[in-house]
Amino acid sequence: MTKPKCRFACEEAIIPGLSLFFVLSYFWQTRQADLAVLRWPLGVFAILGTLWILVLIFNLMSKNHATPSTSITYTKPILILFVSVLYLVFLPFLGFVLSTFIYLNVLFLFLGSKSYFINLFIASAITIVLFFGMVVGMGMSLPRLDLGIILL
Amino acid sequence: MEIASLSIIGNGLTTALQFNHLAWILVGMLAGLIIGAIPGFNDTNFLAMMLPLTVYLGPLDSVIFMMSCFCAAQAAGSIPAILLNIPGTPSNATTCLEGFKMTRRGEAGHALGLSIGASTVGGVLSALIALVLAPVVGVYALNFGPAELFMMALFGMTAVGSLTGKSLTKGLFSSALGLFLACVGTEFNEGYTRASFGFFELYEGFPLIPVLLGVFGFSELFTLVNEKNLFTGEKKPVTNFASILGGVKASMRHKLNMLRSGLIGVLVGLIPGTGAAIATWVSYGQARQWSKQPEKFGTGCDEGLVAADACNNGVPGGALIPTVTLGIPGSGTTLVVMAALMINGITPGPSFFSDYAVEAYAILFALLFANLLLLPIGILIARAAGNVTAIPNKYLVPIIALFCLVGAFAWRQMVFDMYLVILFGVLGALLNRYGYSVPAFLLALLLGPLAEQNLHWALAIGGIESFQRPIALVILVATIAVLILPFVLNKMVRRGKIQLP
């Protein structure tokens, strides 16, 4: 029986890397604060730092990685992220109704729904239900598009 | 010691019997049964999406709705497990072992009936135990001061962190990361705003609802988007009322098994960070040990299925006890329930049963009614389940994404919160992918301010001696014990004494 080879798993450094970035940003932001205010974050940092080192030791050069071996496609997840960010960027300008309607239709189309009629029907129904539910039912002030004669 | 007068219990019962509360039990049941039957989209994700609505519902209706949904989802997770060998929730993995074998034999209806019958008995037992035990825990919990509360927060974070990650270090790291993120926002003592990164929206720290929606709901989309359907099985579920009712009747022949399994569910549910997934494997193993025909386990036998599902529905009652009386949620779903209470201005904890006695009993009675209703509604849903679970992901994913984003906006009406959903969605997906513990991360984020404040108060009031009081010391011992527990569990798994998923 062959022994499992020990390999350098750089993907295991993603979460510790992000954590380190956040911790550094945090202490940069609070560099002028009193020590009294930072006592608790420093205590937590001591624990986090110890565990950070342990996570790297046990996972970066490990035989058994927790990472799933199955290959995944990143195209669609990135697409969802990109379209969602675009939706939020345009939401204040286009208003809730129009941007939500476009957002749903674009995602339906990109995810493989070819029937325009079904896409338009579901997108319209959800947009209308959400709009009236939130504006009329919950009295919320959603971002609206002023077209002069109608507020969308 | 008088725990609660009969009039308070009576008021709790009549409150639970009010029309609006009964209606929310029914709505929660229906939602839970549908959500639980959809693999990959569990009750925690759904309830996190519903969290903004709790502001409008109020604390009691919110918790009643959520607990009903929790109970129903636990039971409904067995439906896809039995019909298509896909567990609706992680705790239904044991149901797959027996249920799907029955389906292959053409006994799908019988298996569904067994599952619903056992779930009802396990759930009712758990609700009754919660009714008796929760107020007692609440009375003793009143002795908790700042030192004890700090130790409890520490215990909760350690327990969830050490038991829910892929490894002990990753689980505890998740807790520590959540705790550090909780350090963002205005410091309570000096009023200094720590690291808001220039966003006034972060002055009070990371808002809970967008974080929950991102980590639970949005992160799930990255997996779902690469699959055509939620279901990948080929066999179409075929069930009829006669076979389902026959199964329910057959489940009643396993009374002792159901009682034992329900009790295991409650006991494991009481321990924060364990949850139903571990409980059902323990219960399944116990049923096999006590069985006269252990060789039949794994071939589609009634005993194994009954043990798994009675235990599965025993967990919600057990998990509710530490959530409301100690402020330590035992699972992701009870974490959302706790968040719903906190959003509505109620902090679960030692004084919950004295400050909100009627509401507390109403919640417990509602839990009982929800489990009783599980039988008739479960039978109807099981009959129709096949159609609901066939929605293609190309429609489902955009709708879930939109609901997560809009749900975050609904709470504070800030577009910034919608960006947070995406940010925490990515973080949640990464945490999940690399085996970190999402419940531990969230619990630490939730309990961080509580731990900081109570540590400050404890040191200001009594100094380090505060931590030498008996309850604080006992909790400290328990904290050390849960750190050792993963090693013991690993050893037991290696020796074949228990099976873990």
> Residue B1's pLDDT band (boundaries 50, 70, 90)?
very low
The residues, ordered by sequence, that sit 6+ positions from A45 with a Cβ below 8 Å of its Cβ are: A23, A27, B180
- Is residue B405 over pLDDT 50? yes
Residue numbers of chain A with a pLDDT score lower than 50: 1, 69
Is the minimum CB–CB distance between B413 and chain A shorter than 8 Å?
Answer: yes
Q: What ipTM is given for this predicted complex?
A: 0.91
Averaged over B92-118, what is the pLDDT?
82
Question: What are B196-215's pLDDT values in tens digits?
Answer: 888 888 998 998 778 888 88
Contacts of B194 in chain A (CB under 8 A): 26, 29-30, 33, 37-38, 41
The partner residue sitting opposite B183, judged by closest CB among A44, A103, A142, is A44
Question: What are B312-342's pLDDT values in tens digits?
Answer: 888 888 888 888 887 777 667 788 888 888 8
Contacts of B433 in chain A (CB under 8 A): 67-68
Interface subset of A 71-110, CB within 8 angstroms of B: 72-73, 76-77, 80-81, 84-85, 87-88, 91-92, 100, 103-104, 107-108
Report helix, strand or coil for B116: helix
Tokens 């996190």 belong to B48
Amino acid at B294: P
Amino acid at B136: V
Nearest CA in chain A to B406: A130
For A127-147, b where at least 16 C-beta lie within 10 A, e where not — what string?
beebbeebbeeeebebbbbee
Amino acid at A135: V
Tokens 């270090």 belong to B169
Report helix, strand or coil for B8: helix
The two tokens of residue B330 are 């035992």
H or E stretch at B111: helix B108-141
The partner residue sitting opposite B190, judged by closest CB among A12, A34, A55, is A34
* Rounded percentage of chain B residues whose pLDDT exceeds 90: 11
Report helix, strand or coil for A98: helix
The two tokens of residue B315 are 């967990």
The residues, ordered by sequence, that sit 6+ positions from B164 with a Cβ below 8 Å of its Cβ are: B171, B273, B275, B437, B439, B440
The torsion region of residue B37 among left (phi > 0), alpha (psi -120 to 50) and beta comes to alpha
Closest CA to B268 of B111, B65, B129: B129
- Is residue B281 over pLDDT 60? yes
Distances (CA, A) of B155 to B11, B327, B328, B462: 34, 11, 9, 21
Amino acid at B23: A
Cβ <8 Å between A77 and B427: no
Per-residue confidence (pLDDT) for residue B239, from 0 to 100: 62
For B473-482, b where at least 16 C-beta lie within 10 A, e where not — what string?
eebeebbeeb
Is the minimum CB–CB distance between B460 and chain A shorter than 8 Å?
Answer: no
For B295, half-sphere exposure in the C-beta direction (CA atoms, 13 angstrom radius) is: 0
Could you tell me if A145 and A92 are in contact, meaning their C-beta atoms sit under 8 angstroms apart?
Answer: no
Could you tell me if B60 and B346 are in contact, meaning their C-beta atoms sit under 8 angstroms apart?
Answer: no
Tokens 């967008």 belong to B210
Averaged over B223-232, what is the pLDDT?
70
For residues B91 and A62, the model is more confident at B91
Dihedrals phi, psi of A68, to nearest 5 degrees: -65, 145
For residues B488 and B259, the model is more confident at B259
Question: What are B258-277's pLDDT values in tens digits?
Answer: 988 888 888 777 766 556 76
> Residue B85's pLDDT band (boundaries 50, 70, 90)?
low
Closest CA to B75 of B299, B305, B235, B271: B305
Is the minimum CB–CB distance between B268 and chain A shorter than 8 Å?
Answer: no
Residue B390 has a CB neighbour count (10 Å cut-off) of: 11
Tokens 């009627």 belong to B358
Dihedrals phi, psi of B277, to nearest 5 degrees: -60, -40
Cβ <8 Å between A33 and B192: yes
Report the interhelical angle of B146-164 vs B470-495 (nearest 10°).
10
Tally A–B CB contacts below 8 A.
155
H or E stretch at B290: helix B275-290
Residue B463 has a CB neighbour count (10 Å cut-off) of: 11
Cβ <8 Å between A77 and B398: no
- Is residue B178 over pLDDT 90? yes
Averaged over B9-34, what is the pLDDT?
88
CA B93 to chain CA centroid, nearest Å: 16
For A145, half-sphere exposure in the C-beta direction (CA atoms, 13 angstrom radius) is: 13
Cα of B410 to nearest chain A Cα, Å: 7
Per-residue confidence (pLDDT) for residue B313, from 0 to 100: 87
